[in-house]
């Protein structure tokens, strides 16, 4: 195992720090440190174990706005490189050259001919290339979109990303040999991101685990919509729905990072903002890509037992987030190292403990082919099922799921919806039957389905005598109707035979 501290001693960060840097040295704005005016303070700050900002607003601002390039915290750099674990003669593709420091560390370990680094910003790439050559580590520096990798140098043994991604670009997998490793900060938008290590397989997929937290700047081509939270409210300030919650919204900020990964998987396409002062706190949940999209806000006020929730748009974002948080609690606050990810050409799947147990499917990354794994839970945007034949897919344009059977497998859905059809909630009974495994179980008062309510389905092939289909309300995640799939009945979609009258409610 490489001693990256020893490599850092040979390749100090100071060789790659620009003359002017910004650092968080206490309350207030970023502290500007200029080497020309205060070289001792500059040297002291560069030697600190903390990130240093080197660019704001893609070079269009100085000391204010969005930080867009930095020299990362040395301990975090070492942690990432430990996960990368390159071996002698390995070829490495780095995404995000920045100042050039990590490219120099890799070049010192592997040789300059084995390192290619890609930077989207021409000015940063030029400055980094000059520093690398001056320090004696003149590896290949490519100007381009890191999401595309650099196919001319493929195949690579390692891919090292120094910028966060909301989805792993599939080009990285395509350009990595089987057995190769991808290490990247995964940050889909909710809360803090995670340090993700993926092993590339020979079937065009990659699988791996999270190793810790990682708060990095986004890959430019995957940045979310910019703006203040009020921009979303002004753009979508219609039909605001108000309710109250007993969940303290501050909990989501201060819980372990695993809750951020799980909430992001269960509530895709959302970013959040958090504001806090002596008078309270406000959490905002915002559509990731569109300022005219849905938004939600929750206000914490000291001394209150309940807190006001406001939501607008076609999703009730706080309802989804609150339910995802409660599910994380039900799972026992799992550590982030129990979470992993499988990446295919069509999907990103986050899972708990192993990829054959609990999986959460982000349908923004995969609207069709969904891998089926074995637990009996369904959430908004998430499908969890048994891998025993058949399957479920989410309709890409609706909050609905429709059941399918394997080709040649006869059967129908006892609720009167043909398997393979999109479910129309208006055709469901107003009241369902709670089926625990036996036909004719009593109707629970809590199992109610109304026309127009969004529903999800889960197949549970473990039940004897037929498969149970559980329909849940997406908003509340509560069962609204239970039915039985009868695979032994002839005629796919045949509705001539129905369950007893209680099914019709």
Catalytic residue IDs: 72
Tokens of 157: 């043994």
Phi-psi region of 111 (alpha: psi -120 to 50; beta: other; left: phi over 0): left
Tokens representing residue 400 in the block: 């609905």
- Give the rounded distance of the alpha carbon of 505 from its chain centre: 40
Pairing of strands 467-473, 479-486: antiparallel
Q: Find out whether 193 and 214 touch, Cβ atoms under 8 Å.
A: yes
CA 79 – CA 210 distance, rounded (Å): 12
Query: How far is residue 86 from each of residues 1, 57, 199, 292, measured CA to CA in Å?
Result: 9, 33, 13, 44
Helices (H) and strands (E) in the chain, counts: 10, 27
Query: Residue 259's closest CA among 185, 206, 322?
Result: 322
CB atoms within 10 A of CB 201: 15
Six token digits for residue 347? 């999907």
**Packing angle of the helix pair 122-135, 101-110 (nearest 10 deg):** 40
Structure-block tokens of residue 109: 């370990």
Rounded Cα distance, 360 and 377, in Å: 10
Q: Where are the beta strands (DSSP E) in 201-269?
A: 206-214, 241-245
Q: What are the residues facing 382 on neighbouring strands?
A: 379
Instruction: Give bridge partners of residue 281 from the DSSP assignment.
Output: 276, 300
């Amino acid at each position: 195992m490489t001693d990256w501290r020893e490599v850092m001693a040979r390749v100090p960060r100071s060789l790659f720090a620009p003359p002017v840097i910004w650092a968080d040295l206490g309350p207030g704005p970023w502290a500007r440190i200029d080497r020309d005016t205060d070289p001792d303070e500059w040297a002291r700050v560069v030697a600190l174990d903390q990130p240093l900002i080197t660019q704001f607003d893609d070079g269009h601002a100085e000391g204010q706005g969005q930080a867009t390039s930095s020299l990362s915290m040395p301990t975090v750099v070492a942690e990432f490189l430990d996960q990368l674990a390159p071996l002698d003669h390995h070829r490495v593709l780095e995404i995000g050259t920045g100042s050039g420091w990590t490219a120099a560390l890799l070049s010192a370990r592997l040789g300059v001919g084995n390192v290619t680094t890609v930077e989207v910003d021409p000015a940063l790439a030029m400055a980094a290339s000059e520093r690398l050559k001056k320090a004696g580590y003149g590896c290949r520096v490519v100007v381009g979109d890191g999401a595309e990798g650099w196919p001319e140098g493929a195949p690579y043994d390692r891919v090292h990303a120094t910028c966060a991604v909301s989805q792993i670009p599939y080009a990285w997998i395509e350009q990595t040999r089987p057995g190769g490793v991808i290490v990247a900060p995964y940050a889909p938008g909710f809360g803090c991101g995670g340090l993700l290590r993926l092993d590339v397989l020979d079937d065009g997929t990659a699988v791996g685990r999270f190793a810790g937290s990682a708060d990095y700047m986004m890959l430019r081509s995957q940045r979310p919509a910019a703006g203040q939270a009020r921009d979303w409210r002004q753009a979508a300030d219609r039909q605001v729905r108000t309710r109250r919650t007993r969940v303290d919204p501050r909990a989501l900020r201060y819980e372990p990072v695993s809750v951020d990964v799980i909430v992001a998987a269960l509530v895709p396409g959302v970013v959040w903002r958090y504001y806090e002062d002596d008078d309270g706190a406000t959490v905002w949940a915002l559509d990731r890509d569109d300022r005219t999209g849905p938004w939600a806000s929750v206000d914490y006020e000291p001394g209150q037992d309940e807190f006001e929730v406001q939501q607008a748009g076609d999703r009730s974002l706080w309802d989804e987030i609150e339910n995802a948080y409660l599910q994380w609690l039900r799972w026992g606050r799992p550590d982030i190292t129990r979470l992993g990810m499988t990446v295919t050409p069509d999907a990103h799947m986050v899972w708990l403990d192993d990829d054959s147990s609990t999986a959460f499917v982000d349908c923004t990354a995969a609207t069709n082919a969904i891998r089926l794994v074995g637990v009996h839970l369904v959430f908004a945007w998430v499908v969890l099922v048994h891998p025993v034949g058949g399957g479920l897919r989410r309709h890409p344009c609706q909050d609905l799921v429709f059941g399918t059977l394997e080709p040649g497998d006869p059967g129908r859905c006892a609720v009167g919806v043909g398997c393979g059809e999109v479910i129309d909630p208006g055709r469901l009974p107003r009241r369902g039957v709670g089926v625990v495994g036996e036909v004719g179980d009593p109707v629970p008062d809590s199992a109610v389905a109304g026309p127009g309510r969004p529903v999800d389905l889960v197949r549970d092939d473990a039940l004897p005598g037929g498969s149970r289909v559980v329909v849940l309300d997406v908003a509340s995640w509560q069962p609204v109707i239970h039915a039985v799939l009868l695979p032994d009945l002839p005629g796919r979609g045949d509705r001539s035979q129905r369950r007893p009258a209680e099914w019709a409610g």
